[in-house]
Amino acid sequence: MDEPQTTAFVHALMAAFAERTGLIGERPPRRYLWTDAFAVCNFLALERRTGDGAHLALAKRLVDQVHRVLGRHRGDDGRRGWLSGLTEQEGEAHPTLGGLRIGKRRPERRPDEPIDERLEWERDGQYFHYLARWMHALVRLGRETGESAYLRWGSELALTAYHRFTVVPRPGARRRMVWKLSIDLTRPLVAAMGQHDPLDGLVTALELRAAAAALGEDPAVDLTTPIAGYGAMVAGADLATTDPLGIGGLLSAADTLTALAGEGVAGLADLVVTLLDEARRGLEDPTTREGILDLPARDRLAFRELGLSIGLRAVRRTRERLDRDPAAPSALPYLPGSPDRLRRHDGLVETIEGCWLDPAHRADANWQAHEDINAVMLATSLAPEGYLAR
């Protein structure tokens, strides 16, 4: 597809998503934090391509709806109001202070209820990695609009998340993270640590601080402690993965850090090279390519491999940035050459997108079971400038 055709296709995907989930039309809102974070960025990409104002309005409406739905207790919960416990007026001004629910259909596990690992995937609560994606969406919207409120909400969420999701399990032990917390952030639902959660925390905190500086704003929230805490957890951490979504996350994080280095954020070179090297090792593991290329579409999860194609598009942008910005190599002295070592995997972008552009594959029950997240992440891969733009 050429660019006008791609734009029209992405518009169609996002218009259907908006109607299906109650962002427009008469249906009640059905919000899900991960998907909505990417959707905000997709509307920004469409706004860049069309300049019609309508897509920016949808991005803002979606942020407002997410905060009003996922920043408040569920309708089937005995509790009411903002998760933070703030008054209605205060909650409107600080909608992220209590975090944001995942948006799962089932209510969270009760304190007296034994854990069922299979069922836990379907239950509500708060995930740190979803909160990190939402912080990134707020950064993107704040940078695009120049409106500092989005950065303040992102920074308030960042500070809340750091203090609730990170723990020191015993005196003298290293700080670690909890993967899933209850809706009110008072108890762990899954105590294990997400492999890349500290990295996501570090990147989003750095993004928020840099975005405020770019707008000439004093930071609404001091993120020095989260940045130091996440940095300590990331140092020496095992980031290697063969999960396509995880590899894509490493590549997207490397792109973000490269852009931040270009804005003057120091000390990022070694981490960027580590992320690119770990991603390359994951891509060259035979099990990774077998899971993408060798299985039939009906046995694959589209959104996980679309996360990889988004990451590979990010690495292309990293190469372009290094080529056009004479200052970039001095800001990241060890980087030149690292993105080129990933060039041989570029073709995976078209392979993955081509699979899910096939109408027959999108008609399959496996796609339909995850239609919202699949469609939104396909749109991100096809029009990544909202998610990756700097």
Question: Do 377 and 350 lie in a common domain?
Answer: yes
Question: Do 138 and 178 lie in a common domain?
Answer: yes
**Structural domains in the chain (count):** 2
Q: Looking at residue 49, what is its pLDDT?
A: 96
Report the 10 Å Cβ neighbour count for 119: 11
CA 312 to chain centre: 15
Question: Do 199 and 260 lie in a common domain?
Answer: no
Q: Looking at residue 220, what is its pLDDT?
A: 79
Question: Do 261 and 297 lie in a common domain?
Answer: yes
Residues 209, 89: Cα–Cα separation, whole Å = 26
**Do the domain assignments include residue 66?**
no
Residues 376, 372: Cα–Cα separation, whole Å = 6
Q: Looking at residue 340, what is its pLDDT?
A: 72
Write down which residue in 237, 265, 280 finishes a domain: 237
Model confidence at 351: pLDDT above 80: yes
**Do the domain assignments include residue 22?**
no
**Do the domain assignments include residue 171?**
yes
- Digit-coded pLDDT (tens) for 220-237: 799 999 999 999 999 989
- Digit-coded pLDDT (tens) for 230-284: 999 999 899 999 999 999 999 999 999 989 988 889 899 899 989 999 999 999 8
- Distances 295 to 279, 290, 291 between C-alpha atoms, Å: 21, 7, 6
**Do the domain assignments include residue 375?**
yes
Question: Do 158 and 302 lie in a common domain?
Answer: no
For 81, the domain range is: 71-237
**Do the domain assignments include residue 123?**
yes
Q: Looking at residue 386, what is its pLDDT?
A: 97
User: What is the H or E stretch that residue 181 is in?
Assistant: strand 180-181
**Do the domain assignments include residue 101?**
yes
Question: Do 282 and 188 lie in a common domain?
Answer: no
How confident is residue 206, by pLDDT bands cut at 50, 70 and 90? very high
Tell me the two tokens of residue 201: 């925390």
Write down which residue in 215, 237, 259 finishes a domain: 237
Full DSSP string of 298-361? GGS-HHHHHHHHHHHHHHHHHHHHHHH-TTHHHHSTT-TTTGGGGGGGTHHHHHHHHHHHSHHH
- Digit-coded pLDDT (tens) for 130-171: 999 999 999 999 999 999 999 999 999 999 999 999 999 889
**Dihedral (CA of 33, 35, 39, 41) sign:** positive
Tell me the two tokens of residue 61: 């409406």
Question: Do 295 and 358 lie in a common domain?
Answer: yes
Residues 18, 29: Cα–Cα separation, whole Å = 9
